[in-house]
Structure 1
Amino acid sequence: MIGRTLLVLSLMFGLVSVAAADNFRCPNGEIVSTGDRLSIVAMKCDPPTYKSARTESEAGYKGATILVSVEEWTYNEGPNRLVHILTFRNGLLDSVQTAGFGK
């Protein structure tokens, strides 16, 4: 019985940690989530340390090429904090990644 309870708790905490990876706490304390519009993130968060933009092409319906606007915002808050990279695809926050400790 104890083993089953521990298994259930482990699975629950695992799912919670996966869900938390889709959120980002801005340097000013605001929280943004994947799916948020770029304009909302810009209003909630301080300006990023670095921004880059590019256009990618993807295969679409019946072989058509679709152009996707990709923008990456990098937040580097110093050597004691993790660097976070926010990736926007067509104006929506698509992913939040960590890239080690800052400088």
Structure 2
Amino acid sequence: MKNSTTWILVLSLCSFNALSAMRCGQKLINLGDYKGYILAQCGEPESVETRTKIVGSTLHHPRRTLDIHEYEEIQIEEWVYNFGSYRLQHYLRFENGILKEIRSLGKGH
């Protein structure tokens, strides 16, 4: 019973697409790294998409004598690295220049 539970856990972790690190040559890229550092370690990505996201909130006073609007514009960049047919492609998402997500996209080309 214990062995089957262990194998199920291992297989589920292997199939999970989100990663917290990616290797570029001898360097390890981690969540929280800056865009410039990753460019220096890994070179130019195969593709880059840029967009802006607005997040915020509005606080209302119960008698409506005071409304506070707080909004922040976040620059989102999505990069794809393709390291060739023998390695996996990787998706990287940056928010304001800081790496927030790494995902494996499957075998490269």
- Please say whether Structure 1 and Structure 2 have the same fold, judged by a TM-score greater than 0.5: yes
Matches of 1:45 and 1:79 in 2, distance apart?
A: 17
Correspondent of 1:51 among 45, 48, 51: 48
Higher relative contact order (CA 8 A, sep 6+): 2
Preserved contact between residue 57 and residue 65 of structure 1 (Cα < 8 Å): yes
What corresponds to 2:90 in structure 1? 84
Structure 2 counterparts to residues 20-31 of structure 1, below 5 A: 21-26=19-24, 28-31=25-28
Higher strand share: 2
Instruction: Kindly indicate whether the alpha-carbon contact (under 8 Å) linking 1:50 and 1:73 is maintained by their aligned counterparts in 2.
Output: yes
Q: Distance in 1 between matches of 2:86 and 2:40?
A: 25
Q: Displacement of 1:44 after TM fit?
A: 1.4
Match of 2:62 in 1: none
Instruction: Give the aligned length.
Output: 98
- Quote the offset at 1:61 in angstroms: 6.8
Residue aligning to 2:104:
98
The alignment-based identity, stated in percent, is 28
Is the counterpart of residue 67 in structure 1 residue 67 in structure 2?
no
Which ranges of structure 2 fall in alignment gaps of 5 or more residues? 60-68
Larger of the two Rg values belongs to structure:
2
Quote the offset at 1:29 in angstroms.
Answer: 3.3
Residue 89 of structure 1: CA displacement?
A: 0.4
Q: Give the 4+ runs in structure 1 shifted more than 3 A.
A: 60-63
Aligned-CA RMSD value = 2.9
- TM (norm. structure 2) is 0.67
Unaligned runs of 5+ in 1: none
Contact 1:69 1:90 in 2 (8 A): yes
